Amino acid sequence: MNEAGTILVVDDDATILHVLVAILECEGFAVMPALSGKIALSAIDISPPDLILLDILMPGLDGFEVCRRLKANEATMGIPVIFVSGKDDVEDKCAAFDAGGVDYVTKPFNGQEVIARVRTHLQLA
């Protein structure tokens, strides 16, 4: 395991996924990218990460459903989930917390803010 932590980044937008991976890798994190909720759940079964950055709007399993499944599983319920989404209304933010998320970052995001939130939640975990 990486000393800084392993982060699973889930987003169906390959450009955003690439940017988040680059930001996190520059800070010394090991990063597992996933382009869908289904891929993310499979990756978690193989190698659970220390934290997950999770998009909401994705085809197939959306971020809310992925998070609910993780929180319903005893083996994964303790993994912190930070939602990263272009949806910035209060209802979506509340739904993210109701699904089990620990934080919420809106797109477009600031790399320093993402790193600060990741580090904070890794320390709290």
Q: Is 71's pLDDT higher than 80?
A: yes
Coil, strand, or helix at residue 105? strand
What pLDDT, on a 0 to 100 scale, did the predictor assign at position 2?
56
Per DSSP, the residues of 21-38 read HHHHHHTT-EEEEESSHH
For the entire predicted model, the pTM comes to: 0.95
Report residue 117's pLDDT band, with 50, 70 and 90 as the boundaries.
Answer: very high
